[in-house]
Amino acid sequence: MQRYFRDFDINQNTIIIDGDDFHHIKNVMRSKVNSELVLCDLSGNCCLASIQSFNEKSLICECKKLLPSDNNKFTIDIAQAIIRRERFEYMLQKSTELGVNKIIPVNMKNCIVKLDGKKEEKKIQRWNTIAKEASEQSHRNKLAIVSNMTTLKSIDFNEYDVIFVCYEKENESNKLKSIVQSNKYNKILIVVGPEGGFDQSEVEYLSALPNSEFVGLGKRILRSETASSYILSVLFYEYEMSD
């Protein structure tokens, strides 16, 4: 059943859908009156709804029943260095499917891709569209979001219980597993560097944070977008599947 994220009050009896979602429902899915779909608000609440009527630019749905929440008690954000377009978009899609809460695009010293103000605004809009589509496709209850671009020093690291820094020079085996199994953190941040790796000044800055943990990701050197998927898979397995 198709799922759509909308900014609406979940307690409303009737919900109006317009814009791109209206086009998708009517022209792509070819839904009819009485067709059912799932609507989710921006806080992770979802309901089963049925289409009541169409007009030229919108449709009206009726919320039939609220659906159980599958939201986790923990959240995982990822601070991802800006990488090449197709690789960054792949990372966005797969990270969203795996369950990430928020993606923070970060400009780092060794980033090959540099974006100016106008390009940045368009990129953020496109990236949030990709995250929305991946959230719907993977039947999430809560929408993954992409924040505005920032720098490492502009991130509020104090809001996280732990920060996992993916670092190819960290060779202590099973460090990530042992940390996770000994502490069930509620708010986690993953930091992934660019294709050229972290600059030494960035390593020193992250090392000085009281809640940072440098972790290796096995014996091989992974691409930036692969590292994101790898560590998210490990963390969600440990948190969701081993309880």
pLDDT tier at 164 (50, 70, 90 boundaries)? very high
Q: What is the average per-residue pLDDT within 39-66?
A: 93
Domain ranges of the chain: 3-66, 75-241
Query: Does pLDDT of 220 surpass 90?
Result: no
Q: For the domain bounded by 75-241, which CATH number is listed?
A: 3.40.1280.10
Query: Does pLDDT of 215 surpass 60?
Result: yes
Query: Does pLDDT of 40 surpass 90?
Result: yes
Cα–Cα distance for residue pair 49/14, rounded to 1 Å: 9
Helix (H, G, I), strand (E, B) or coil at 21: helix
Q: Are 129 and 143 in contact (CB under 8 A)?
A: no
Query: Does pLDDT of 243 surpass 60?
Result: no
Cα–Cα distance for residue pair 140/236, rounded to 1 Å: 14
Torsions phi, psi of 101, nearest 5? -85, -50
More confident residue, 101 or 180: 101
More confident residue, 238 or 17: 17
Lowest mean pLDDT among 10-19, 162-171, 175-184: 175-184
Q: What is the average per-residue pLDDT within 56-82?
A: 90
Residue type, 47: C
Half-sphere exposure of 210 (CA within 13 A, CB side): 4
* pLDDT value for 188: 95
Q: What is the average per-residue pLDDT within 184-192?
A: 92
Q: What is the average per-residue pLDDT within 13-27?
A: 92
| pTM score | 0.88
3-66 shares its CATH topology with 75-241: no
Phi-psi region of 197 (alpha: psi -120 to 50; beta: other; left: phi over 0): left
Q: What is the average per-residue pLDDT within 210-227?
A: 88
Could you tell me the fold of the domain covering 3-66?
Ribosomal Protein L25; Chain P (2.40.240)
* pLDDT value for 176: 82
Query: Does pLDDT of 104 surpass 60?
Result: yes
